[in-house]
Chain A
Amino acid sequence: MKLKTMNIDTTNISDLNSWRLLILITLGSALIAETGGATPALILLICVAVVLKGQLVIDVLMDLRGSHRAIRTPMLAYFYVMMPLLAMGLLFPEWLERLTTL
């Protein structure tokens, strides 16, 4: 499955290290927010950070690593599909506006 090859390997990450990583990524995102202007590069960077945070929670804290893929795949897909969609909507609002104008 495509998603299986795309996702990040979290096999050797403990729950404590996962929590530390989540804290670091959150503080990094907050720093970006404080510096202002969300440029396209920063938007993409933040979207990648969100996907990483989502996978850490799903695989390590929820302990879905090795669980049945009928449960794990939709959970991961939520981040792997939703974030690119959000990034596209944020980066190309005029395209989304045209698409949603009646």
Chain B
Amino acid sequence: MSTASLTPELDSTAYRHRSVPGSIAVWVLIYAELSEFALFFLVYLVTRAHNTELFAAGPAQLNILAGTLNTLVLVSSSFCVARAMKAIQRNDRRACIRWLGLTIACGAAYCGIKGWEYLWNEAHGLHARSNLFFTLYYYLTFNHLLHVLVGMATLSWLCLRTWLGSYDAEDHEGLENGACYWHMIDLAWIILFPLVYVMG
């Protein structure tokens, strides 16, 4: 057997096939978080099955514009964090910080829009205790908002570490962990938005 076959890491194709962005710890966290959201979605579905008329009327009362803007902002933030990863892979720290800054700005915009949406609900007499649909809507969306805040804090820390020179093209696993976590937040919203705002 040749040496090359004993050391597949030397073969770039084989290495690429085995490589995964981020550490195993962050993937365990991502699967745990996605499982939590999956459980919430199933609870929503079962509650809806027992209260079909209430849930059919629910989405029509929501601020679709706020939900759509939040989706656009989160999708754009995922693009920005992907670009930040490409920048650090080129060893371009300045571009990486710029894209991370844009990602955090998108996160802040998400929080601002969510705040406006909750105020709009208040003005229209919609509260967490209005009915079962709104209880679940607030539970799901507020829980997601908390994840966005955690993601923003993580990315801010990673941005500072990048500025301090902790990451480069060869060593940026910490950045990959933060980026993967941020994508997970986007993935959860990709299901949450149509489920609650569109299909009801």
Contact = CB atoms under 8 A, between A and B. Distances in A.
Given A53-B190, A66-B17, A61 B79 contact: yes
Interface in B37-68: 38, 41-42, 45-46, 48-50, 52, 59-60, 64, 67-68
Contacts, number: 133
Contact of B183 (A26, A33, A61): A61
A57 to B, nearest CB: 6
Interface in A60-101: 60-64, 66-68, 71, 74-75, 78-79, 82-83, 85-86, 89-90, 93-94, 96-97, 100-101
Contacts of A100: 46, 49-50
Contact of A86 (B41, B50, B86): B41
B192 to A, nearest CB: 10
Given A27-B68, A78-B38, A71 B190 contact: no
B45 A36 contact: no
Interface residues of B, number: 48
Interface stretch (B69-77, B107-115, B146-154): B69-77
Interface residues of A, number: 49
B194 A46 contact: yes
B115 to A, nearest CB: 20
A3 interface: no
B64 A33 contact: yes
A33 B86 CA distance: 35
Interface of B: 16-21, 27, 31, 34, 38, 41-42, 45-46, 48-50, 52, 59-60, 64, 67-68, 71-72, 75-76, 78-79, 81-83, 85-86, 179-180, 183, 186-187, 190-191, 193-195, 197-200
Given A54-B187, A62-B183, 12 more contacts: A15-B86, A26-B71, A29-B71, A30-B67, A38-B199, A46-B198, A46-B199, A54-B190, A67-B17, A86-B195, A89-B42, A89-B48
26 contacts: A22-B78, A22-B79, A23-B75, A26-B68, A26-B71, A29-B193, A30-B67, A33-B59, A33-B64, A33-B198, A49-B194, A50-B191, A54-B191, A67-B20, A67-B21, A78-B38, A82-B191, A86-B41, A86-B191, A86-B195, A89-B45, A93-B49, A93-B52, A94-B49, A97-B49, A100-B46
